[in-house]
Amino acid sequence: QKEVEQNSGPLSVPEGAIASLNCTYSDRGSQSFFWYRQYSGKSPELIMFIFSNGDKQDGRFTAQLNKASQYVSLLIRDSQPSDSATYLCAVNERGANSKLTFGKGITLSVRP
Amino acid sequence: DAGVTQSPTHLIKTRGQQVTLRCSPKSGHDTVSWYQQALGQGPQFIFQYYEEEERQRGNFPDRFSGHQFPNYSSELNVNALLLGDSALYLCASSLNSGALNSPLHFGNGTRLTVT
């Protein structure tokens, strides 16, 4: 059974701080990795995807991937109260059209 | 450009009944996937449809079935509803290009409550 673990949380940070969200996965054949943001009562919204080892930055968001350690993380710089949401890590083993396995999510609260 | 649309938004059913949920994919997308999200959990993959056929299936019983139409829209049917089927049902569409950067786009979901 392929698993995606997001065990840390809930997470609370002050406004302007860096929020670090972590995720591990069990399938070494995994090829693509996604971070979705989900506000309460809403559907998941894609914020980042990464396929290669290393860092990928998009504005205040940086995704980090380490395939050897089977670890993917999301850093949110200059956190804002509007970043308060549940962040879902998702893994796809064979490409974008295969099924995604999601973690249970980490709830982030940014304190004003 | 319309995104993924789902109907209805909310539904209340009684145990043992049957339900049909509907989804229209984002314009230009040809693949539809269905996910079930229980409260406090991540979405769980139910199945995926492409070219009107079920291409992949998750660990869900046969009570869950689906269909894809020639216009790429899709239905999810659940028979003999159980209390545990209460969840947010998400439809996601994508383009079967095989490219790694063709991610899923989710609809707003259907909230199903079974009493």
Scanning every residue of chain B, which has its alpha carbon at the shortest distance from the alpha carbon of A91? B103
Among B46, B104, B108, pick the best mutation site for testing chain A contact (most A Cβ within 10 A). B104
**Is the pLDDT at B98 greater than 90, yes or no?**
no
Q: Is B32 on the interface with A (CB under 8 A)?
A: no
- Distance linking the first and last C-alpha atoms of chain A: 40
CA atoms within 13 A on the CB side of A35: 29
Radius of gyration of chain B from its Cα atoms, rounded to whole angstroms: 13
Q: Give yes or no for residue B100 having a pLDDT over 60.
A: no
Mean pLDDT value across chain B = 92
| Cβ atoms B50, B61 nearer than 8 A | no
Nearest CA in chain A to B38: A104
Distances (CA, A) of B102 to A94, B10, B92, B105: 12, 29, 12, 9
Average pLDDT over every residue of A5-15: 90
pLDDT tens sequence across B38-87: 999 999 999 999 999 998 899 999 999 999 999 999 999 999 999 999 99
Q: Stretch A20-34: mean pLDDT, rounded? A: 91
- Interface check for B60 against chain A (CB to CB < 8 A): the answer is no
pLDDT at A55 over 70: yes
pLDDT at B99: 60
| pLDDT the model gives residue A96 | 47
- Whether the predicted pLDDT of B27 surpasses 60: yes
Report CB contact under 8 Å: A99, B56.
yes
